[in-house]
Amino acid sequence: MNRLPSVMIVGTALLAGCVTINIYFPAAAAEKAADRIIDEVWQLKKDSQTPAEGKQP
Amino acid sequence: MKTLRNLLLLCVFAASAAWAQGNLEIDTPAISQVRGAMQARHAQLAPHYASGAVGLTADGRVELRDAAAVPLAQRQAVQALVAQENGDRDALYREIARANGHPEWEAEVRSTFAQRWIERAQGGWYVQSGGKWIRK
């Protein structure tokens, strides 16, 4: 059968993924966290939990 | 073949479970305090970003890049603001790395923030890129 090798490759890749995800820096999660904090610090989102100081663009 | 398929399923499950945890902890008391302080300070810093006196550096900090753009009487105050902001930013990156159980991530947290601050800076603000100041 021709499918076995490809299944094994995918399986190995996924297994490697399982192991590496928690070791390496989670870049996407970090970007998300950064954006949340930047929204808050620069007050870029009107729906943030922090009260606006009466400023509307 | 069947065991392989089971292994595959297990891996997909494990990978998606890990993926679901794809949020960094940013709500500890230490981090919240720094976030609050930075937000409160932003109102004072914003005019200096706009005038070009203060720019965003490539290492996730701020810098007084053109002191001449600040009236002499205010210069010291702006310098103090920049120093306080950098203290908070350093603490922010350190605390996020620590809160997530990986203090060694600090440099990567910093560089992620540096990119995002610069990316999201308003038009007219100065940002550092390749060692040079660029006006967005």
Q: Which chain A residue shows the shortest CA-CA distance from B23? A: A29
Expressed as residue numbers, the domain containing A19 is 3-42
CA distance B31 to chain A (A): 10
Rounded Cα distance, B76 and B87, in Å: 17
**Enclosing H/E stretch for A55:** none
Q: Which residues of A touch B (CB under 8 A)?
A: 4, 7-8, 10-11, 14-15, 17-18, 21-22, 25-38, 40-44, 50, 53
B43-62 per-position pLDDT tens digit: 999 999 999 999 999 999 99
Q: Which chain A residue shows the shortest CA-CA distance from B92? A: A37
Contact between chains at B11 and A11 (C-beta distance less than 8 A): yes
A1-53 per-position pLDDT tens digit: 567 778 777 777 777 766 555 578 999 999 999 999 999 999 997 654 544 44
Contact between chains at A41 and B96 (C-beta distance less than 8 A): no
Rounded Cα distance, B82 and B87, in Å: 9
- Total domain count for chain A? 1
Does residue A56 sit within a domain?
no
Rounded Cα distance, B14 and B9, in Å: 9
Decide if pLDDT at B112 tops 80: yes
With a CB cutoff of 8 Å and minimum separation 6, the contacts of B61 are: B85, B86, B89, B90
Give the per-residue pLDDT at A55. 44
Q: Which chain A residue shows the shortest CA-CA distance from B45? A: A42
Q: Is A49 helix (H, G, I), strand (E, B) or coil?
A: coil
Give the per-residue pLDDT at B98. 97
Is the CB of B1 inside 8 Å of chain A's CB atoms?
A: yes
State the complex-level ipTM.
Answer: 0.84
Closest Cβ–Cβ partner in A8, A28, A43 for B22: A28
Does residue A55 sit within a domain?
no
Give the per-residue pLDDT at A19. 56
Contact between chains at A21 and B4 (C-beta distance less than 8 A): no
Kindly report the number of other CB atoms within 10 A of residue B87's CB atom.
13
